[in-house]
A and B are shown apart, each in its own frame.
Chain A
Amino acid sequence: MMQRRSQLVFVLAAIIAAMLSGCGGGGEGASTQSAGSGGIQTLAWDPPQTYSDSTPLDPYRELDYYEIYISSAPSFTDNDAPAAQVAAVSNVLNPDGISYTQTLTSEFSLGNLLPFTEQGAVYYISIRSVGLDGLKSDFSAPVTWNLT
């Protein structure tokens, strides 16, 4: 329960930070957020198509959300708390402005993680998928996020 609350706090903090960065001084923020790219970078992944026992998984129906982890070390454990959560499926408004299309989430703006970072540091990011029953996948192989 406490962990869940902690996760929500992280997510809210990330959302607020993202909103603030988008409201003012966007250019200045972008220039300092990810050296080398000139803009906010994006974390991307391929949604899983199977369970851990290799049975097929329908990510539209059977995935709940993803947990995104950030660390200064390239290893992650179950004791780590996620920095953010994103829904596995989102409803995207169609051009008709009325109907929605279910879309698999496969990207996350790393700008949302900037409140948890220090400029000039190197971080590692990993992600877990969480099924509707709450079971979590292993950590994905981490990627490096260089803020130098």
Chain B
Amino acid sequence: MKAKVIFLGIAILLGGIVWSLPAQAETLSWNAVTTYTDGSSIGSASVTYTPVWSTSSSLASPTALGTSTTATSRAFNITTEAMPRGSTIYFGVRATVGGVASAYSSPLSWLVPTVAPSSPGNLRVQ
């Protein structure tokens, strides 16, 4: 019987701007979990990941970054996620195997980039 607590060997990385979408997206990625806390291999067991973000470095009151996934990256949109531009937020990811979830990874801090708004359109004198 494997240990029920998963060692989350996750290193999360932020980068990779996806330009293929009409609106710019960022991508959060992390390394796949490979072992349990006792060091034994997870093997072929299905691992789902739950990425979250929070304005707290302790990941208090985290906001899910989409739904859980077996993928090791997640594209997101700053505005859609209502992330506070100009502020530092923290990402974390936890893994779940067989219904048992790990603790969150060490938080990754990220300064939400600021971007100037577009100029008003259709300026006219009436």
Contact = CB atoms under 8 A, between A and B. Distances in A.
Whether both chains belong to one complex is answered with yes
Interface residues of B, number: 22
Contacts of A137: 116-120
Interface string B82-126: 000110000000000000000000000000001111111111111
Query: How many A residues touch the partner, as a band?
Result: 35 or more
Contacts of B116: 51-52, 131, 135-138
B80 interface: yes
A46 B120 CA distance: 6
Given A57-B79, A133-B85, A133-B86, A52 B123 contact: no
A125 interface: yes
A114 to B, nearest CB: 14
A47 B119 CA distance: 8
A140 B125 contact: no
Contacts of B117: 48, 50-52, 57, 62-63, 129-131, 135, 137
Nearest to A138: B119
Given A137-B116, A137-B120, 10 more contacts: A43-B123, A45-B123, A46-B122, A48-B118, A52-B118, A57-B117, A131-B115, A137-B119, A140-B119, A141-B123
